[in-house]
Amino acid sequence: MIPAEKIRAGDILRILPGETIPVDGTIVSGETSVDQSIMTGESLPVDKSVGEAVFCGTLNRFGAIDIRATKVGQDSSLQKLIRMVQEAEEKRAPMARIADKAASWLVPAALLIAAVTGLVTRDIVRSVTVLVVFCPCALVLATPTAIMAAIGQATKYGVIIKSGEALEKMGRVDTIAFDKTGTLTYGHLQVSDILSFDPELDAEALLSAAASAEAKSEHPLGKAIVDCAVARKVPVLEPKDFKMQAGRGVCAEVKGRKMVCGSEAFLEEYGISVGEAARAALEDFRNKGKASILVAMDGQCAGVLAMSDGLRPEAADIVERLHGMGTSVVLLTGDHQQTANYFAAQVGITQVRAQLLPEEKVECIAALQQEGKQVCMIGDGVNDAPALKTANVGVAMGNLGSDIAVEAADIVLMRDDISQVPYLKRLSNATVKTIKGSIALSMAINLVAVVLSVRGLLNPTAGALVHNAGSCFVVLIAALLYDRKFQ
């Protein structure tokens, strides 16, 4: 074991099962499956063999591998990811508020009108009254009071809004980009299909046999099968002569029967023929973005089990509601195109960008912004952090999300409930409308009061009452946001 900072390009490193890969490199010996979710967001581990690249920060799930370091230290993919977050933060310009812009010309205008009124009417009282009623208190109160009420409202429902600027920007968002894994889906594998090719073997018996063979497996697919069997209270027996080949499959003896579970190529290595029915099922599951494991008993292919990342049941309704609010929805994911297309079709998303690295997600966000779109990015992983920072508004899943994603986001969903997204959009829209309405009301009151003051129909005392009445109206309108029902 050596400190990571001592690794140099060209060094040969041995990465054991369960260890995090410390640098970018190329495999020179061994086979394994690598969890790349930190970089790409893929829900399934990726099988790797000699000659293939591995990335810093990813997790070696199975099998010892030797890699040759290619990019180390500040050149590694993980460090580039961190730099992208920092650069995105520096590029973000503060938003000038409407009230600040108005105040820059309102005060000089008040002084000018008061001076002209005094010179023309020779009445100092009228000039003083103009200054009293023209004081932009209501105008200045419009934005912070509305934002304070809206942030308080959101907090009650487990939505943490870090700044008023984020809330205002969310009200102007017209495009929402979703990550897939851990956002539209739960981020963990579930058995979705159990298909038996043996008429004497029902789904429950096939699941029991496969789970028993995989009982000692540490592969996510094997664990998903065992978890499914336990949840369905299907018997899981202790396997004998268990052997596992990383990224390929397992073989074991269960109740005296020779079990082989894995890919088509793995079964063929044991001389097991995979029929046309099995191939058709594999192709169908592949088109649906599902991972499959073939199950063979005593030299015969007995069935197939398919696994998929579980789609959140509310996802389709959320997308439909966002479309109904005039908001475009885009899917940005590191998963394969087929998987992305399948899930997008399930929830009603037509704009799909798949197989994206973190920097490519940033490029997609920037391209949308160049088209004049106001973009909100919703994600949960480290790989989403640069996109969260680059978007006009970043929303992170607070419970399951990584610390760097939560830190990079402007808004955090503490309950990991994406059904809060339409609520958040409605609240933001209402806040922006309230701010604009309050500003319009305050300006109208000021305009009427100034005209009355110039004409001598208001004195300083009456002007002060009108001025304070405007401020009270603005605060009251903002306070109504706190208890309004947006759910």
Residues acting as catalytic residues: 179
- Return the closest-CA partner of residue 140 out of 100, 95, 94, 195: 100
Question: Which strands make up the sheet holding 12-15, listed edge to edge?
Answer: 12-15, 65-71, 24-29, 53-54
* Token pair belonging to 123: 């009445």
Q: 310 φ, ψ to 5°?
A: -70, 125
* Torsion over CA: 242, 291, 219, 63 (sign): positive
Q: 482 φ, ψ to 5°?
A: -65, -40
- Sequence-distant (6+) residues with CB within 8 A of 263 are 248, 249, 293, 294
Q: 398 φ, ψ to 5°?
A: -75, -35
The residues with which 453 forms a beta bridge, in sequence order, are none
Q: What is the rounded distance in angstroms from the CA atom of residue 258 to the CA atom of residue 367?
A: 55
The residues with which 291 forms a beta bridge, in sequence order, are 307
Q: CB 361: neighbour CB atoms within 10 A?
A: 29
- Sequence-distant (6+) residues with CB within 8 A of 213 are 239, 242, 250, 251, 252, 254, 259, 260, 261, 295
What is the β-pairing status of strands 159-161 and 240-245? unpaired
